[in-house]
A and B are shown apart, each in its own frame.
Chain A
Amino acid sequence: MESEELQGIIDHYAGEKGALISVLQDLQGVCNYLPEPALRQVSDALHVPLSQVYSVASFYNAFSLKPRGRHHICVCLGTACHVRGAPRVLQEMERQLGIRAGDTTEDMNFTLESVNCVGACALGPVVVADGGYSGQMTARKVSPLLKTLGTSHEENQNDS
C-alpha cells in the first residue's frame, strides 16, 4: 500500500477522538493484514505510541499482523455450530489444507480461521469462504468447497 493511500484513510478520520481502531480496520480492509511500515505511519500520524498501536493490533481478533492468503475460510465454532459437529468440519479443513486454524498455506492460497458465531446459527455448521456462507456443512462437504474456491481463483486469474 502506498503511504498516500494510507494518509487518505487517516485524513478521513481527522479530528476524531479514538480513531485508531477505525483506521486499522480500514487499513486491514485494503491490505488484508497490518504491515509494519503502515503501522509506523499510523503511529506518527495519530500521535499514538507504536507500542500502543501494536497492543491494539494484537488484542483484537479482527486484526492480523501476518499476510493472509488469497482465499479466506472461516469455520464457525459458535455454540450452535459446535453442537451440530463444527469441530469435525474444522478438523477436516485443517487436515486437507495441512495447516492449523489461524495459519496460511505456504503457497499463500488459503488462510484458515475460526470464528465464534456469524449470526446464521439456524444453518449451522456454517463456513464463510471469501464472504459466501455455506450452511449445514459436514466433513464430507469440505473437499468440494475447497475445490470450488480453488477453481474460482483460477478463473479470476484467467479473467484478468
Chain B
Amino acid sequence: MKKIRTIAELGTLRAALERERESAKVWISVSNETCARANGSDKVIAALDEELRKQGLADQVRVKGTGCSGFCDRNPMVVVFPKEIAYQRVSPDDAAEIVGKTLIKGQVVERLLHHDGKGHAVQHEADLPFYRYQKRLVLRNHGRLDPTDITDYLASGGYTALSQALTMSSEQVIEEISRSGLRGRGGGGFLTGRKWKSCREAHGETKYVICNADEGDPGAYMDRSVLEGNPHSVIEGMIIGAYAIGARMGYVYVRAEYPLAVTNLVIALQQARDCGLLGENILGTGFNFDIRVNRGGGAFVCGESTALMASLEGRVGEPEVKHIHTAESGLWEKPTNLNNVETWANVPVIINKGADWFASIGTEKSKGTKIFSLVGKINNTGLVEVPMGTPLREIIYDIGGGIPHGKKFKAIQTGGPSGGCVPEELLDLPVDFDRLTEVGSMMGSGGMIVMDEGTCMVDVAKYFTGFLQDESCGKCVPCREGTAQMRQILSDICEGRGRPEDIDLLEELGHVVQDTSLCALGGTAANPMLSTLRHFRDEYEAHIFDHRCPAGVCTALIRYTIDVEKCNGCGVCAKQCPQNGVSGEKKQPHSIDQHLCIRCGICREVCRFEAILVN
C-alpha cells in the first residue's frame, strides 16, 4: 500500500476503493473471530475457497474472513451477499451446497437458515430477532470487514472522521466529544470530553494516550471482539484523541489471553503506518503520532488506571494513591489519557455523525449505545449493542430469546466482579450507568450473565469473592485479608458449616472492606456478596439453617439419586460413572452408592430420561 500524503489523496483513494467494492457485488463473509475459529470457521473458509475453485467461480466471488456479527454461539456464520442470506453453524461439508445452490442456482439452503421458535426460517440476517432490536454503531461493520485489510475499512468510510478532525482545531474536536455526552465504557462512566480537556490543558510537552484493552471482567468480551473484528475503528479513535490532546505516542494494553486480538491489531497498525495514517506528518498535516502494543500479564487489577500505567512501565501492577490526576501525571509522570476500547471506537462515529445525532440516542445522562455480552443461561448468547436505556427484559427476552430448557429466570449479573445481581422484579429497569447503580449493581464493562433456577446465588457470591481475593494486589490489608475472610465464610456456608451469625458478620466485613480499600477493586469487592444478600437472603438462610442448596449446586449439600419412575435401566450412567458407583439389573431401575459418589454430575449429564435427581 502506497503512502497517502494528503487528506485530499485519501478522499480520492477512498472513492476508487468504493467503486471497486460496488462492482464486486457477490461475495461471502465468514465470521472468523476467536469464538468462530473455536467452531472451525477457518476450515469453512478453506472449504468455500476450494469449492469456488472447483465450480469455476474463484475469480468472481471472494470469501472474506470477517469480525463476528455477535451471534456467537451460531458460529461459524456465513452470509452470502448481496442478498445477505445468513447461514448458521456451517461446517466445511456444507460448502459445496452453498456454492452450488445459492451462488449458482440462486436458491437458499433451507437447513442452514435460522429457525425461530415457531418453526419459521429466517433468510436475512437483519430480520433475525437477535439483530432486529439492536442498534449497532460500534459493531456496525462486524461481519462486513476483513480486519486484516485496511482497504476494506477505507472503502466503508474508514478514516473519514480522522480527515474531518484534522481540519478542525483540537478545541473543536474536544468540544464535539464533550457535547456528544460520551461517557467512558470501561466501567466508571467518566465524561470523555472532560477527561480529554484536562489532559489537553495539563502542563508538559510529552503526553500519552492509552487504550485499555485489559478487559478483566470474566464474561465480558466486547473489547476482544472490537479489536479482532474492527481494529482500525479503535486506531482511528486514538489518532483523533491524540490530535485533540496533543499526544505523540499511544499504547494499547491488551490482555495476554487474547492472542488473535493482538495479531489483528499489530497487522492493522502496520497497515496504518504504511498508509501514512500513523507516524510522522500524518496526511501532510504536520501531526506526528504512533501506537505501540503491550501485552498484559494476566492480572485483573492491571485494568485499573494507575496499575495499568505501572505495568506499562515494566513494574508490578499495584494501584497508587491518586494525589495528582493521571491527566496531569500518569505514564512516566507525564499527562496521560486512558480510555477503554469501546470508548475509542465510539469517537469516529461521533465525529462522522455529529455530537447532536449521538446525543439524541440513549437516556438523559447516558448517551449513545452500549455493547453487552449476553451469556450464561440464555438461548441466544452473543454480543448485543443497544441504545442506553433499553430495559433488561427486552435484552433478555426479545434479543436473548429467554432461558433455555424451559427453566425459570433467577437473576442477571452485571458489572463483573464489582457489580451485582439484578432479580426478576427489576427486569423492567432501563439499563444505563445511573439506574444500575441505584439498584446496587453497576454498568461495568458490559458483561451480562444470565442465571436461572439452577444457579446458586451463594455460590456466585463465593465465586466472585474468590476471584477478587486471587486478584487483589495485596497492598491494602482490608482488601487482602477482608476478601480472604469473606471467601472463607462463604465457603463455610456452601459446605454446610454456616453459622446463623455469619450473615451479619459478612455485612460488617463487607462495609469495612468497602470503606477502607485504596482502589476500586477493594472498594467494590463486597458488591457481589452484598447484592446477593440483598435480593436472595433466603438462599443464604437455606444453606445455613436447613443445610440445603435450593439450586442443587453446592456439592457438599447435595446428593444425586435415581428416580425409579423414570429410570429404564439403560445402563449408560453406570458405564460413564468414573467411580463405578451406579449399579442395577439391566432394564431395571438403577441406584447410586452414596459412599462412592464424588458428585461429578456425569450421570446427570448423560441420562436421556432426566432420571437423575439432585436433592
**Chain A interface (Cβ within 8 Å of chain B)?**
17-22, 25, 48, 52, 55-56, 59-63, 77-80, 82-85, 88, 91-92, 95-96, 115-124, 126, 133-135, 138-140
Contacts of B602 in A (CB 8 A): 92, 138-140
The smallest C-beta distance from A156 to any residue of chain B, in angstroms, reads 21
Contact B257 A83 (CB under 8 A): no
* Minimum Cβ distance to chain B for residue A134 (Å): 7
Within the assembled complex, what's the spacing in Å between the Cα atoms of A139 and B297?
29
Q: What A residues does B460 contact at CB under 8 A?
A: 82-83
Closest to B449 in A: A79
- B residues with CB within 8 A of A: 34-35, 37-39, 72-73, 75, 215-221, 224-225, 255-258, 261, 294-300, 311-317, 332, 373, 375-377, 381-382, 413, 416, 447, 449, 451, 455, 460, 463-464, 467, 473, 576, 578, 598, 600-602, 605-606
Q: Which residue of B lies closest to A48 (CB)?
A: B314
**Most chain A CB neighbours (cut-off 10 Å) among B257, B451, B473:** B257
- B382 interface neighbour in A78, A122, A138, Cβ under 8 Å: A122
| B601 pairs with A79, CB closer than 8 A | no
What are 20 inter-chain pairs, A to B, with CB distance below 8 A? A18-B312, A18-B315, A20-B315, A60-B299, A62-B256, A62-B296, A62-B297, A79-B376, A79-B413, A80-B219, A82-B460, A88-B600, A115-B257, A116-B467, A119-B34, A120-B38, A123-B72, A123-B73, A133-B34, A140-B606
- CB pair A121 B221 closer than 8 Å: yes
B353 to nearest A CB, angstroms? Answer: 29
Contact A79 B447 (CB under 8 A): yes
CA distance A55 to B449 in the complex (A): 35
Asked if B35 contacts A59 (CB within 8 A), the reply is no
Contact B299 A80, beta carbon cutoff 8 Å: no
Q: Which of A21, A48, A79, A140 is in CB contact (< 8 Å) with B605? A: A140
B447 partner residues in chain A, CB cutoff 8 A: 79-80
Q: Are A21 and B600 also in contact (CB < 8 A) when A60-B298, A121-B381, A133-B37 are?
A: no
Residues on B with C-beta less than 8 A from A52 are 315
Contact call A139/B257, Cβ cutoff below 8 A: no
Partner of A78, one of B218, B313, B601: B218
Contacts of B257 in A (CB 8 A): 115, 117-119
Q: Which one of A55, A62, A120 contacts B316 once the chains associate, using CB atoms below 8 Å?
A: A55
Could you tell me the distance in whole angstroms from the C-beta of A60 to the nearest C-beta in chain B?
3
| Nearest Cβ on chain B to A118's Cβ, whole angstroms | 5
**Chain B, residue nearest A63 (CB):** B297
Determine the residue in chain A with the shortest Cβ distance to B68: A122
Q: Tell me, rounded to whole Å, the shortest Cβ–Cβ distance linking A108 to chain B.
A: 23
Tell me, in angstroms, the Cα distance from A135 to B72 when the chains sit together: 12
By the criterion CB–CB under 8 Å, are A123 and B312 in contact?
A: no
Q: Contacting B256 at CB < 8 Å: which of A17, A25, A134?
A: A25
One of A19, A84, A122 near B72 (C-beta < 8 A): A122
Find out whether the CB atom of B221 lies under 8 angstroms from the CB atom of A120. Answer: yes
B317 in contact with A80 (CB, 8 Å): no
Min CB gap A75→B, angstroms: 13
Q: Is B218 in contact with A120, judged by CB distance below 8 angstroms?
A: no
Cα distance A116–B220 when bound, in Å? 11
Are A123 and B35 in touch, CB under 8 angstroms?
yes
Which residues on the B side are within 8 Å of A61 (C-beta)? 297-299
The residue from A77, A80, A96, A135 contacting B39, defined by CB atoms under 8 A apart: A135
A62 and B298 contact, Cβ closer than 8 Å, known pairs A119-B215, A123-B39, A139-B601: yes
In the A-B complex, the 3 residue pairs with the smallest Cβ-Cβ separation, listed nearest first, are A60-B297, A78-B218, A18-B314
B38: A residues at CB distance < 8 A: 120, 123, 126, 133-135
> With contacts A79-B463, A83-B455, A119-B258 known, what are 14 further pairs, Cβ within 8 A?
A60-B299, A60-B317, A62-B298, A77-B218, A80-B218, A117-B217, A118-B34, A119-B257, A121-B72, A121-B220, A122-B75, A123-B39, A133-B34, A133-B37
Q: Report the separation of the CA atoms of residues A88 and B224 in the bound assembly, to the nearest whole angstrom.
A: 27
